[in-house]
Structure 1
Amino acid sequence: AGQQSQGIQTLLEAEKEASKIVQQARQYRVQKLKDARTEASKEIEEYKQAKEREFKAFEASHAGTTVSAQTAVDRETEIKLQEITKSYNENKDAVVKKLLDRV
């Protein structure tokens, strides 16, 4: 009976130990999942920041092009307006005279 009781006690202790091991494995798994999520979030944030920097650099490099193109167009427009105004001023009297001569 004592030996049987000893065997039962050994089995109970082994069961407790196995339960502890299973609990530790669960905690380890939960911690690993948390670590993986944290690491993934960190990588996502780093990737997002890198893409934002890349976009801002692209935007800045192309914004200068847009501004310089707009300046060139404005300059050309101003020159053409001056040419039209000059041509108008030089020829208005002759055009009015021709129109009056035909009437």
Structure 2
Amino acid sequence: MAAQQSQGIQTLLEAEKEAAKIVQQARQYRVQKLKDARTEAGKEIEDYKKAKEQEFKSFESSHAGNTSNAQTAVDKETELKLQSITDSYNAHKDAVVKKLLDRVVLVKPELHRNLKKVEA
């Protein structure tokens, strides 16, 4: 009977070792699958990024001409406005200087309107 119990215990120990091996293999399988999934996701991200960069470059190249044309038009408009302001300045600077000098030099002394006459 002792031999039978010993053999039963031995069988249980072997079953436990086999179960541990199976669990270890399952863990390794899971870790490998996670690594594979990360690698695959990285590849998909790179492919998507490349596709979007290519799409952006094609969009940029198709609209680059419009940008340079718009910049040229804005530069011309700015130059015209600047020339108009310069012409206006040159035309009116003498009159403005004369008005300023007249205001500064020709002072009319007057009592302030809030000053009241004090009767003694």
Q: Calculate the TM-score normalised by the size of structure 1.
A: 0.68
Aligned to 1:75: 65
2:40 matched to which residue of 1? 50
Partner of 1:41: 31
User: How big is the alpha-carbon RMSD for the aligned residues of Structure 1 and Structure 2?
Assistant: 2.7
Q: How many residues align structurally?
A: 93
Q: Runs ≥4 in structure 1, deviation > 4 angstroms?
A: 86-98
Q: Which has the larger radius of gyration?
A: 2
Q: Could you tell me how far apart the structure 2 residues matched to 1:71 and 1:54 are?
A: 26
- Per-residue CA deviations over 1:37-77 (Å, capped at 9, x if unaligned) read 00111111111111111111011011111233234444312
For structure 2, which runs of at least 5 residues remain unmatched after alignment?
Answer: 92-120
In structure 1, stretches of 5+ residues that fail to align are: 1-10
d(CA) in 1 for partners of 2:84, 2:34: 74
Question: Which residue identity is paired with 1:80?
Answer: A
Greater helix share, structure number: 1
Identity of aligned residues (%): 8
In structure 2, the residue matched to 1:28 is: 18
After TM superposition, the score normalised by the length of structure 2 is 0.60
Give the AA of the match of 2:26. Answer: A
